[in-house]
């Protein structure tokens, strides 16, 4: 906790006003493709983002009653590291909310060791929030919780990158559905051109 607070304070003191102004711009990033925040926004806004995300994950782990151990601390640092490559509070928070909602509707508790890791590492789906919006980010987190906690049966524990594998399955399944729903919500060409016949020109 002290480490992340130090990162936040140092970036604010040394970076001054530029830190926050660049951070607000950073929050507009979708996270798709892993944009290099360090290269695009500079040192201090990126360090500030890393501190904010680290603080968020630490407080979340504390208030959900999870254990601070090697795997959970390592997972938090994983989120902090990728905070320089696309993750920020705006695109990870909806996914986390989705996992938390799922914990109230399913048989597992959020403070179980495997569930805690699933919560932290569900942020792998942050680009879905950034690209498609908050609602779909929550849906992605909700689905990820089920997939991550059950997909181990497929490979009998031989894949150590369980949450990444589960996140890939969720993305492969969910993104085409989102795109299909969005395309159906757009007015079709038929209705756009309705009433245009012969030499009539579109208005």
65-86, pLDDT tens digit by residue? 888 999 999 999 999 999 999 9
pLDDT mean over 109-115: 86
Residue 198 in any domain: the answer is no
Alpha carbon of 130 to those of 67, 110, 126, 190: distances in Å? 29, 25, 7, 31
Residue 67 in any domain: the answer is yes
Residue 88 in any domain: the answer is yes
Q: What is the pLDDT of residue 116?
A: 92
Q: What is the mean pLDDT of the chain?
A: 87
Share of the chain above pLDDT 70, in %: 88
Q: What is the pLDDT of residue 192?
A: 47
**Count of domains forming the chain:** 1
- Let me know the angle formed at the C-alpha of 135 by 132 and 141, rounded to the nearest 5 degrees: 95
Which range marks the domain in which residue 69 is found? 2-186
Q: What is the pLDDT of residue 189?
A: 45
In three-state form (DSSP H/G/I as H, E/B as E, the rest C), the secondary structure along the chain is: CHHHHHHHHHHHHHHCHHHHHHHHHHCCCCCCCCCCHHHHHCHHHHHHHHHHHHHHHHHHHHHCCCCCCHHHHHHHHHHHHHHHCCCCHHHHHHHHHHHHHHHHHCCCCCCCHHHHHHHHHHHHHHHHHHHHCHHHHHHHHHHHHHHHHHCHHHHCCCCCCHHHHHHHHHHHHHHHHHHHHHHHHCCCHHHHCCCCCCCCCCC
Residue 72 in any domain: the answer is yes
Residue 191 in any domain: the answer is no
Residue 182 in any domain: the answer is yes
Residue 200 in any domain: the answer is no
Segment 25-75, tens digit of pLDDT = 999 999 998 899 999 999 999 999 999 999 999 999 999 988 899 999 999
CA–CA separation, 68 vs 138, rounded Å? Answer: 25
CA–CA separation, 120 vs 116, rounded Å? Answer: 6
Q: Is 157 left (phi over 0), alpha (psi -120 to 50) or beta?
A: left
Q: Is 198 left (phi over 0), alpha (psi -120 to 50) or beta?
A: left
Residue 199 in any domain: the answer is no
């Amino acid at each position: 906790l002290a480490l992340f607070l130090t990162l936040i304070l140092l970036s604010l003191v040394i970076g001054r006003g530029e830190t926050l102004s660049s951070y607000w711009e950073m929050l507009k990033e979708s996270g798709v493709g892993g944009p290099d925040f360090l290269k695009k926004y500079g040192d201090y806004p990126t360090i500030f983002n890393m501190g904010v995300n680290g603080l968020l994950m630490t407080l979340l782990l504390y208030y959900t009653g999870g254990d601070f151990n090697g795997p959970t601390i390592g997972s938090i640092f994983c989120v902090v590291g990728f905070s320089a490559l696309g993750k920020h509070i705006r695109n990870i928070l909806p996914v986390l909310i989705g996992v938390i909602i799922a914990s109230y509707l399913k048989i597992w508790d959020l403070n179980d060791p495997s569930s805690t890791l699933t919560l932290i590492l569900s942020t792998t789906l942050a680009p879905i929030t950034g690209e498609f919006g908050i609602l779909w980010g929550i849906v992605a987190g909700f689905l990820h919780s089920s997939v991550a906690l059950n997909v181990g049966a497929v490979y009998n524990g031989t894949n150590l990158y369980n949450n990444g594998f589960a996140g890939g399955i969720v993305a492969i399944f969910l993104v085409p559905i989102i795109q299909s729903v969005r395309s159906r919500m757009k007015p079709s060409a038929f209705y756009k051109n309705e009433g245009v016949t012969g030499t009539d020109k579109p208005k």
